[in-house]
């Protein structure tokens, strides 16, 4: 008489459990990774985390952007607010000369920008200050008081004034 066993080979039944557990663990890791990537870099943009609906909320959001070091959101904000104007400035930017003052460098720049009210292209001239960060060795924008320049370097102060007056620019006070 023939007898049939149901349930198959006992060794085989036990071996499918570890495969199922590893598969489930892999699926959960993939799901968690996808969630993290979407949280870190959402396809709908990073600005959704911040509120720019009122001046007060915009200030808070600006500071939160900086505190979080959220450069991607900052870039996205700049693109939304001023992309066309920034591109126009960049395309026409010329550094006409530089000057040194107390470890900082003044860049005498000239660029073109479209006036928001008249919609006409205008040439602008400004002086922008940069200083080298000692720790990183990188250059960053700096503040230099026009009053301090006038007190200590009259010739530079006059150069800055003559450069900016004709080009709608202003000194950094």
C-beta separation of 139 from 131 below 8 A: yes
- Average pLDDT on 131-157 reads 95
pTM: 0.56
Residue 87 confidence (pLDDT): 86
From CA 94, how far away is CA 87, in angstroms rounded?
14
3-state secondary structure of 43: coil
Position with higher pLDDT, 72 vs 159: 159
Cα 117 to the center of its chain, rounded Å: 28
Label residue 55 by pLDDT band (50, 70, 90): very high
Q: How many Cβ atoms from other residues are within 10 Å of residue 105's Cβ?
A: 16
> Treating both helix axes as pointing N-terminal to C-terminal, what angle do 71-92 and 55-68 enclose, rounded to 10 degrees?
100
Residue 172 confidence (pLDDT): 38
The residues spanned by each domain of the chain are: 25-83, 93-165
Asked if the model's pLDDT at residue 46 lies above 80, the reply is no
From CA 163, how far away is CA 106, in angstroms rounded?
12
Position with higher pLDDT, 153 vs 83: 153
Q: What's the chain's Rg over C-alpha atoms? A: 30
From CA 107, how far away is CA 100, in angstroms rounded?
9
- Average pLDDT on 55-66 reads 94
Residue 159 confidence (pLDDT): 95
**What is the strand order of the sheet 104-114 is part of?**
94-101, 104-114, 121-132, 139-141
Label residue 173 by pLDDT band (50, 70, 90): very low
pLDDT in tens, 116-135: 888 899 999 999 999 999 99
User: Which of 40, 64, 41 shows the shortest CA–CA distance to 51?
Assistant: 64
- Average pLDDT on 56-75 reads 91
Query: HEC profile for 79-117?
Result: HHHHHHHHHHHHHHCEEEEEEEECCEEEEEEEEEEECCC
């Amino acid at each position: 008489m023939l007898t049939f066993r149901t349930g198959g080979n006992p060794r085989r039944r036990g071996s499918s459990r570890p495969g199922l557990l590893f598969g489930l663990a892999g699926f959960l890791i993939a799901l968690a990774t996808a969630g993290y990537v979407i949280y870190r870099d959402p396809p709908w943009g990073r600005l959704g985390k911040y509120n720019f609906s009122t001046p007060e909320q915009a200030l808070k959001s600006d500071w939160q952007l900086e505190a979080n070091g959220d450069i991607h959101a900052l870039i996205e904000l700049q693109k939304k607010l001023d992309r066309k104007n920034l591109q126009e400035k960049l395309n026409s930017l010329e550094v006409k000369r530089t000057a040194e003052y107390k470890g900082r460098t003044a860049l005498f720049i000239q660029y073109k920008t479209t006036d928001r009210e008249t919609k006409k292209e205008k040439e602008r001239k400004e002086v922008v200050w940069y200083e080298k960060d000692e720790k990183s060795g990188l250059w960053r924008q700096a503040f230099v008081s026009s009053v301090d320049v006038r007190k200590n370097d009259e010739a530079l102060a006059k150069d800055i004034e003559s450069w900016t007056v004709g080009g709608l620019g202003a000194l950094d006070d």
